[in-house]
Structure 1
């Protein structure tokens, strides 16, 4: 486990898991939101994003959290592990609410500076429809990455158990 992708709905805890894994495995964490956004919620160009992502993926090891389906093929080709947080919509909405209320008006550590947390009703709708629109595609990604270990976690309880048992999963 040296090149890990973490995918799943917003509010599922991708960034939180990435940070916890980074600490346990001593790997750098790359939050795709930090590569895509710049101050004031303005995005970088596709070319700049791709360049930033390529630089990150050239490191010996990494944990990348985020979806950004346009670059998924590139990331899948280089990863050795894909973790899919396949949570239900209510769990993701709870996670999003906790994040918004806990960070409102401040930039989160996993977000670009100058992008304060905010409440966006269209984001709630996106989370509500995420599984309907993306679950099948996410399982296709897992099947496509035959060279990589696929891990599906369906609840925060499973994430906690995964982190507790991580040492048993690693080669000696």
Structure 2
């Protein structure tokens, strides 16, 4: 739709065996990723949000309910359990039921959401915030019409 390179942060953060990247290496990796001239980044690592926002011109923030996010994480996990998702995760990281991820999703609105909204309040670019999949779908449909080649 946008013809931009898509970067899945999980693919860059995790190493084989679900080993995390060190904080110093992670910030350096983000610096390298955002140095590219064009990109769309998918993921939520607040520890590097400052670096991403400093290089972004637009943010699309999916402000979906905890129930919806938890349902989607569980559905994705069960559908892909034990399999690698090469599009989003690095080799050696098969899908797993991760209690820490479930706790993160459950506590996200309480523990993380306001930090993100505070960052976005100081963001000088364009911000789109969607509270439901329907809102997002309408936006994407309109965006698709705008980016359709002229006939």
TM-score by length of 2: 0.89
Q: How much does 1:120 deviate?
A: 2.0
Question: Corresponding residue for 2:79?
Answer: 102
2:107 pairs with 129, 145, 157, which one? 129
2:121 pairs with 136, 143, 154, which one? 143
Q: Which runs of 5+ in 1 are unaligned?
A: 1-23
C-alpha contact (below 8 Å) 2:6/2:39 kept by paired residues = yes
Alignment of 1:74 with 2:46, yes or no, is no
Please state whether the residue corresponding to 1:87 is helix, strand or coil.
coil
Separation (CA, whole Å) in 2 of partners of 1:125 and 1:36: 19
C-alpha contact (below 8 Å) 2:57/2:125 kept by paired residues = yes
Separation (CA, whole Å) in 1 of partners of 2:88 and 2:133: 19
Structure showing greater Rg: 2
Which residues in structure 2 correspond to 1:40-59 (within 5 Å)? Answer: 40-59=17-36
Judged with a 3 Å threshold, the aligned counterparts in structure 2 of structure 1 residues 49 and 121 are, in CA distance, closer, same or farther, namely closer
Could you list the per-position Cα deviations for residues 106-134 of structure 1 after superposition, in whole angstroms to 9, with x for gaps in the alignment?
Answer: 12221111111111233222211110112
Q: How much does 1:46 deviate?
A: 2.6
1:85 pairs with 43, 62, 66, which one? 62
Separation (CA, whole Å) in 2 of partners of 1:61 and 1:156: 25
Root mean square deviation, CA, Å: 1.6
- Equivalenced residue count is 146
Judged with a 3 Å threshold, the aligned counterparts in structure 2 of structure 1 residues 169 and 129 are, in CA distance, closer, same or farther, namely farther
Separation (CA, whole Å) in 1 of partners of 2:120 and 2:98: 30
1:112 pairs with 69, 74, 90, which one? 90
Could you list the per-position Cα deviations for residues 61-100 of structure 1 after superposition, in whole angstroms to 9, with x for gaps in the alignment?
Answer: 1011112111111111110011111111110011101110
Q: Which runs of 5+ in 2 are unaligned?
A: none
Separation (CA, whole Å) in 2 of partners of 1:149 and 1:44: 30
